[in-house]
Each structure stands twice: as C-alpha cells, then as structure tokens.
Amino acid sequence: MQDILDQLEARRAAAKLGGGERRIAAQHAKGKLTARERIAVLLDEGSFEETDMFVEHRCTDFGMEAQRIPGDGVVTGRGTIGGRLVYVFSKDFTVFGGSLSGAHAAKIVKIQKMALTSGAPIIGLFDAGGARIQEGVESLAGYADIFLQNTLASGVIPQISVIMGPCAGGDVYSPAITDFIFMMKDTSYMYVTGPDVVKTVTNEVVSHEDLGGARVHAGKSGVAEGAFENDLEALAEVRRLVGFLPLSNRDRPPVRDSYDDPDRDEDSLDTLIPANPNQPYDMKELILKVVDEADFFEISA
C-alpha cells in the first residue's frame, strides 16, 4: 500500500510542475505567476480542492502521443474566498502555451457545471494562445461546449475572467460573454488573432498593445472592466469584488459588520457641490464619504 501512495505522491509532484522548471522560470522572468501560484493567491489558504489533476490529452497526431503532461494545461477546482465557495480554473501557459485541447475543454466544462449546480461564482484565470492546432476541430468543438455553459450560467452565477497573458481566439471569446473582465497592464492582451496574422491578411503593422492591450480594452473599447499593475494586485481586487457579490441569483449579497455610524454627519458634503451647476465636482469624493468605511469598488473607471 505504501508503494502505491508513494507513486501517487510522485505523480502529484510531477503534475504540479506543469511544463517544468525551465518554463516556470521563463514565466517568472516575464513578471507573471504560474497557474497554481495564482490560485494560491486568489483563494483562502489551504482551501483549494483540485479536480482532474491527472487528465491528459488524447491526441496521437503530429507526435503529440509522446508529449503528455498531467493536467493538460489547465488547473481546475474549488475553494473559498472569505470563507465563501467559489470555483476556479487557471490556464497553465507552461504546458503547450495553455492551448485548449478536447480534454482540457472537458475539465473546464466540468467545473462550469459544478459551479452552476452548486450556485457559486466561477473565476477563470486566462493565460493562453487559443485552440491547440494539433487537435483541429475537436479543440474548436471544446470551445463551443464552454461557450454554451457561459450562456447557461449568465444571470445565474457571477462569472469573472482575468486576462493574465497574451490571449487569442476562444480564450477571449469566452471571457467576452462573462460578467466581469480584468486585465494586466503591459503583460496581457485580448484579440481575435495576433499581429502576425493581421499583417499577413491586411498588410497592416500593429503592436500587441494597440491591437488588444489593457489600455485599449479598459480605456477605449470598454471590453475590460479594469486594468491592474500585476498579477498580485489583480487577484487581490478579484477577492474584493467577490466580497460584494451574491453567490448566485438565489442568494443575497453578503452582510458584513460596519463600524460607520449610519447617522453620522459629514460636514464637507455641504460644500462639495458648487452652487453654480456649470462647475464640476469630484463625484468619487462624494461616493467615498457616503458609503460605509469608504469601501467602493469601481467598475469601468
């Protein structure tokens, strides 16, 4: 029995390494966390319960049968944020660039269905290049299954997407139909296809940032609800956001203790709004002085 347990632990250790130490180091060199590190920051300590750790792809074309990595490029499971249940999947860029295979898609669909059945938010951490081209139509069909679950969950449970790397194709179609999208400044991009394809098809030269960077989507197109400096800030803010949301449409928003006196006087409000209606005033100052403990989460600033 001990031999079997030792083998299991060895397999777990191999799965947790993802694409290996060299690719993990490359991820860190770009200022980005790995898929598992992101989950550890996002969820309450020790709360993560992983599903389907040993899933591998089924492709035998183009030499893929010799390249099988446990987990197949996505980490899925459930945990808690502030003691409240959430489901999460985190794309692993160190494994095939986080690209989506049939088995990879099945893992995400499973966790989507679990979230919908349980009535709990689902959070997707995206760092991937779209479909795994070696699997062709099966990979694309996997995206169709994910999109279906996105639409079934719409209005039922909160769906939060965090774009944490260069994402293209289905890895931006799916986030686009979720409730909240957040991006990283300088390291995350959202586009249907990349600058190289644009240049080939239209002969137009465009940078990653101008095509789908955080500056474009958070400040111009309105696709993203916010842009953050790095992974740690983004994940901390997602934790804050979840604290404001009900777990599902059958639940109420959480109730927290407040130390602000509801009958308090805020004398500065008497002079904040000018007598002349043509003069502007700081609306955020008004909000912060009215809400409890100045705790305000702004969307689409």
Report residue 154 CA to chain centroid gap. Answer: 16
Give CA–CA dist 13/185, Å, rounded: 32
Whole-number pLDDT of residue 59: 67
pTM (two decimals) = 0.90
Give the phi and the psi of residue 137 in degrees, each rounded to 5: -65, -35
Whole-number pLDDT of residue 118: 95
Helix (H) / strand (E) element for 55: namely none
Give CA–CA dist 224/164, Å, rounded: 12
Whole-number pLDDT of residue 234: 94
Give CA–CA dist 299/226, Å, rounded: 7
Helix (H) / strand (E) element for 174: namely helix 170-176
Whole-number pLDDT of residue 63: 65
Report residue 58 CA to chain centroid gap. Answer: 26
Residues of the chain with pLDDT under 70: 57, 59-60, 63-66
Give CA–CA dist 144/158, Å, rounded: 20
- Whether 102 contacts 140, CB under 8 Å: no
Domain coordinates in residue numbering, the chain: 2-242, 256-301
Kindly write down the DSSP assignment for every residue of 66-127, as one continuous string.
G---TTTTEEEEEEEETTEEEEEEEE-TTTGGG-B-HHHHHHHHHHHHHHHHHT--EEEEE-
Q: Which residue in 157, 68, 151 sits closest to 104, CA to CA?
A: 68
In this structure, are strands 122-126 and 84-91 parallel, antiparallel, or unpaired? parallel
C-alpha separations of 20 from 73, 134, 189, 222 in Å: 12, 21, 24, 37
Whole-number pLDDT of residue 161: 96
Q: Angle, to 10 degrees, between the axis of helix 137-153 and the axis of helix 102-118?
A: 10
Q: The domain 2-242 belongs to what CATH superfamily?
A: 2-enoyl-CoA Hydratase; Chain A, domain 1 (3.90.226.10)
Give the phi and the psi of residue 10 in degrees, each rounded to 5: -65, -40
Q: Which residue in 25, 17, 162, 28 sits closest to 95, CA to CA?
A: 17
